[in-house]
Structure formats: structure tokens, C-alpha cells
Amino acid sequence: MSEKYEKPERVSVHGGHSGQFCNHATDSLEEIVCAYIEYGFSWVGITEHMPPAGSQFIYPEERRAGLTVELLRQRFAAYIREGRRLQEKYRHSLLCFVAMEIETCRGAHDLVDRLVEEFEPDYLVGSVHHVNDIPFDYSQVEYDKAVRHAGGMDALYCRYFDEQFAMLQRFSPSVVGHFDLIRLFDPDYRKRLEKKEIALRIERNLDFIKDNDLILDYNLRSLLKGADEPYVSRSILEMALARGIAAVPGDDSHGVDSIGVNIDRGAALLQEYGFATIWRKPRLFRPK
């Protein structure tokens, strides 16, 4: 049977947040890894968030838990240690990468450099959760605040893709996380993505991704939250396909109950669109 009709392997290029190291997730990291094994995954990237670059970037649930910048940094160090332990413990059952999801807010880029040097993660997931230092994906309230600060919805999109481009240029991360997350609270995002000033930025960023052989995270968590399609949107995905960019499913799991949810559906969609489903593994990061 040709590859077209074969069921692709279960993988997640962006997943494995755990309640042990992330306040908006559940379950221990070992429970997460064991669930990936139970559900038949071939390989998975555990991609925990980096610690904040300053106290202003501590999320409300972290503040309520009494966490500080230093405590969050210590927790990240513990994540790396535990990830390496589990990577070795389960190496005969699962190829497990211990990675880091990075940020784009003020001070984050320099912090990424220091974290990479100290902890040597397997690879980076380059994400954008802040625009003008506002965490737009945290809530509708914060998203609306980001819109006002940017001077309108179109301007917010332009700023988002500009900040994403700066991140791509600085780090060339192996995986680009949820490329169009900025659409999160915008019901008219399909039309907005076609606007010239936004579309040109998307094409510029995709060209960089192609030229540097990066992977697009086909992030399925949006489906779990009721969206019509994953990140990346169909229109952007078609541009990526035309450029020969690799897209790989990511469940962006935040607990055992979300591991693998929609992963087979996402793989089938990519297969239907014409993407190769012998999944590209991330380029492993090695400090210079």
C-alpha cells in the first residue's frame, strides 16, 4: 500500500506540558510520558515554557501559587532534570525530546540565550504569546487590551507577525509554534489574513521558515477548544505547502486527558492536503 493510504505515525512536535511544571496544566511529567507510550506515539517533544524574563510576566495563576521569577527559574531547572531522567528511563519505549518553548516579550531573547547555554534543551519551539508585552492569548480581556494598545486589530496582526519574524531571525527555532495564534479571539480572522499588509508579513515569515528548513507546528489544541481548524489556518497552510515547508502535528497537551486528542484527525488533514506524513524530526539544538 502506498504512503498516501497508510495511517501516519503518532507524533507530537509540540506537547507534554504538565501540572508539575506548568500552572495551567495537570498531571506529573512522568504520567504524561507514560500516556504517550500507552497511546502508541513514536516520538514526542516535551516543550515546557521557559521561565519569565521579569516579574511583570508572571501569570495570575502563578502569582496566586506564590511563585516568583527565581522560583519559576528553579522549577524550569527541575523540569530539565526530570525530563532527562524520563528520557533515559523510557528510551526503549518512546523517543522523547526535552525541549523549550520560548517567548518574545521584553528581555526574553537574552534570557533564552542564557537558558540554552545552561540547560542545553534538545530544541526550541519559537512561539509568540505577547504583543507589545501584553499576553494576548491569556484571555479575551488581555486580547482586547492588546488590540487597543496596537491601534486596532489589523495593526495587532502586523505587530504579531513582525515580532514573530524578529524571533525567527534571532533563533531560527527548529519548530515554529502555533504560527497564527493571533487569530485566537478574532471571528473574522480568515478575511483579515488576506489583507495585503498582513499577507505580506505572513509570506515573509514563511519564506524565512522555508529558507532555514524549519518545521511548522500543526497545533491541534485549537480544535479541543472548539475552533474550526488547527493552527495553522488552511490559507496559510496552502502557502506553506507550495513552498515545501514541513508541517508536523502537535497536540500541545496540558495533561493526560488532552494527549493525542485530534492527533489522528490532524495527521489525516495534512495527508489530505498533500503534506508528507513521514514526519520530520526537529533539528536538535546544540550550543555553539
By CB atoms closer than 10 A (0-12, 13-18, 19+), residue 88 is exposed
Give per-residue pLDDT as tens, 91-132. Answer: 999 999 999 999 999 999 999 999 999 999 999 999 999 999
Average pLDDT, the chain: 95
What span, in angstroms and rounded, lies between the C-alpha atoms of 95 and 25? Answer: 22
Longest dimension (CA), the chain: 56
Whether 153 shows a pLDDT value over 90: the answer reads: yes
Q: CA end-to-end span of the chain, whole Å?
A: 44
Give per-residue pLDDT as tens, 131-149. Answer: 999 999 999 999 999 999 9
> What pLDDT, on a 0 to 100 scale, did the predictor assign at position 72?
98
Whether 5 shows a pLDDT value over 60: the answer reads: no
What span, in angstroms and rounded, lies between the C-alpha atoms of 70 and 55? Answer: 9
Whether 287 shows a pLDDT value over 60: the answer reads: no
> What pLDDT, on a 0 to 100 scale, did the predictor assign at position 224?
87
Give per-residue pLDDT as tens, 257-266. Answer: 999 999 999 9
pLDDT band at 241 (very low <50, low <70, confident <90, very high): very high
Q: Which residues in 16-131 belong to E strands, given as ranges?
A: 41-49, 95-102, 124-126, 130-131
The model's pTM: 0.94
State the residue for C-alpha cell 522555508: 210
Query: Residue type for 105, please?
Result: C
> What pLDDT, on a 0 to 100 scale, did the predictor assign at position 3?
45
> What pLDDT, on a 0 to 100 scale, did the predictor assign at position 286?
61
Contact 249, 15 (CB under 8 A): no
What span, in angstroms and rounded, lies between the C-alpha atoms of 260 and 265? Answer: 10
C-beta atoms surrounding 274 within 10 Å: 12
C-beta atoms surrounding 260 within 10 Å: 21
Give the residue-averaged pLDDT of 38-63: 97
What span, in angstroms and rounded, lies between the C-alpha atoms of 267 and 11? Answer: 9
